[in-house]
Amino acid sequence: MHHQWLLLAACFWVIFMFMVASKFITLTFKDPDAYSAKQEFLFLTAVPDAGKLPGEKHFPEELKPTGKVLSDSRLIQPLVYMERLELIRNVCRDEALKNLSHTAVSKFVLDRIFVCDKHKILFCQTPKVGNTQWKKVLIVLNGAFPSIEEIPENVVHDHEKNGLPRLSSFSDAEIQKRLKTYFKFFIVRDPFERLISAFKDKFVHNPRFEPWYRHEIAPGIIRKYRRNRTETRGIQFEDFVRYLGDPNHRWLDLQFGDHIIHWVTYVELCAPCEIKYSVIGHHETLEDDAPYILKEAGIDHLVSYPTIPPGITMYNKTKVERYFLGISKRDIRRLYARFEGDFKLFGYQKPDFLLN
């Protein structure tokens, strides 16, 4: 009888401990605020086959996400953004690519970076990658307009009216302070698709009525790079590709001035090997990246990224093939040689279907 009571007491004890443990586990996993950044990082890296880069991984402290744990399908996201930063770090260390991945943090670069002091944000402009919408976000944050919908289109790119100071307008000490302490980001897209977008926007459609692209820049490219001198058509994409792939393109660049921002490399625009960015967004995944950037910057409760039309950010291989059709392999390879740093820094696949 004594043994039966002992056995019964032991059973009740086991059941009681199981209930306590279950309650503890439930509370722990239901409270996302209970996770520290370090715990979040360890949990995320335990997810198998999450698009890891080849080779051993080590994420230093500055690469850890600053936001709270995301739920459900977005749990994997912080790892994706950390891998992008780690890829940049690895490519920047590659001596063979040094000439394609490094640039001085010159006034040209500082002119591309817009400042929001109120929320400690730096945004590097990469034209033809949806930058107009990000500028609208910063304009609202800086207090120039109460909402994105109220910003006139002609004000967005008017730097005397849009209330967006450039980093170059500050003293050297103030520049360094902001570079070290502010949240920094920029957006990229497939380099060749971006060039197609730049060509269409500036030389074909020209929706902002900027006549100098057709009447000054295009004739300069045609004079130097058109092979068939009897051809009288306006600038063709082939002329544009030949200009961009020319190792001596800088002679024309100097004549064109800051207009070249629409087609120079991301390296030349934002100096990703010299400046430690907090997040790199991709145009192709902007539906996920935009909310993540706003959250990491701590402004998701203040402003939303404008609605993205379905499918507009997807990579269009058919369009790329169509534009490069008829252009010599030599010219395409020279173009890739110039933009190889962008392809490798940001994880874009080498376009072998155009090169071979």
Q: Are residues 164 and 138 in contact, defined by beta-carbon separation less than 8 angstroms?
A: yes
Residue 201, Cβ neighbours under 10 Å: how many?
A: 17
Cα–Cα distance, 83 to 52 (Å, whole number):
7
Would the pLDDT of 39 be above 70? no
In a domain, 26, yes or no: no
Question: Whole-model pTM?
Answer: 0.78
Query: Pick from 106, 104, 53, 58: which is nearest to 80 by CA?
Result: 53
Residue among 346, 353, 354 nearest 80 (CA): 346
Give domain status of residue 216, yes or no: no
Tell me how far apart the alpha carbons of residues 310 and 6 are, in angstroms, rounded to a whole number: 67
pLDDT at 231 over 50: yes
CA distance between the termini of the chain: 87
Q: Sheet of 113-116: strands edge to edge?
A: 113-116, 121-124, 183-188, 279-282
pLDDT band at 298 (very low <50, low <70, confident <90, very high): very high
| Closest residue by Cα to residue 183 from 267, 62, 59, 92 | 62
Which one, of 43, 17, 48, lies nearest residue 28 by Cα?
43
DSSP structural state of residue 308: P
Whether pLDDT at 158 is above 60? yes
Residue 307 lies in a domain: yes
Of 104, 103, 108, nearest to 166 by C-alpha is: 108
Q: Return the C-alpha torsion angle 157, 243, 105, 98, nearest 10.
A: 140
Mean pLDDT (the chain, rounded): 83
Answer whether residue 226 is part of any domain.
Answer: no
DSSP 47: S
Three-state SS at 183: strand
Mean per-residue pLDDT, 174-195: 98
pLDDT band for 263, please (50, 70, 90 cuts).
Answer: very high
Q: What are phi and psi of 123, to 5 degrees?
A: -125, 120
Counting DSSP H helices and E strands in the chain, the numbers are: 18, 4
- Domain membership flag for residue 63: no
**Cα angle 94-177-300, degrees, rounded to a multiple of 5:** 85
Angle between helices 317-324 and 191-199 (to 10 degrees): 60
Task: Give the SS3 label for residue 121.
Answer: strand
Q: Which alpha helices (H) appear in 165-249, and where do they start and end?
A: 172-181, 191-199, 212, 218-225, 237-245
Q: Number of folded domains in the chain?
A: 1
Contact 41, 61 (CB under 8 A): no
Residue 54, in any domain of the structure = no
Q: Which residue has tokens 């200009």?
A: 243
pLDDT of 57: 38
Q: Which amino acid, 46? A: A
Higher-confidence position of 166 and 1: 166
pLDDT recorded at residue 13? 57
Asked if residue 275 has pLDDT above 90, the reply is yes
d(Cα 242, Cα 331) in Å, to the nearest integer?
A: 6
pLDDT score for 119: 97
Structural domain range at position 106: 75-190+265-313+341-354
Residue 11: predicted pLDDT: 53
pLDDT digits 0-9 by tens, 302-354? 999 998 988 889 999 999 999 999 999 999 999 999 999 999 999 999 999 99
Q: Would residue 31 count as lying in a domain?
A: no
3 state SS of 314? coil
Residue 100 in domain: yes
pLDDT band at 80 (very low <50, low <70, confident <90, very high): very high
Distances (CA, A) of 206 to 54, 213, 250, 309: 42, 8, 24, 21
DSSP state of 285: G
Q: Which of 4-13, 135-144, 262-271 has the highest mean pLDDT?
A: 262-271
pLDDT tens digits, one per residue of 92-125: 999 999 999 999 999 999 999 999 999 999 999 9
Structure tokens at 246: 């020319």
What radius of gyration do the chain's Cα atoms show? 25
- Spatial separation of the C-alpha atoms in residues 265 and 324, rounded to whole Å: 19
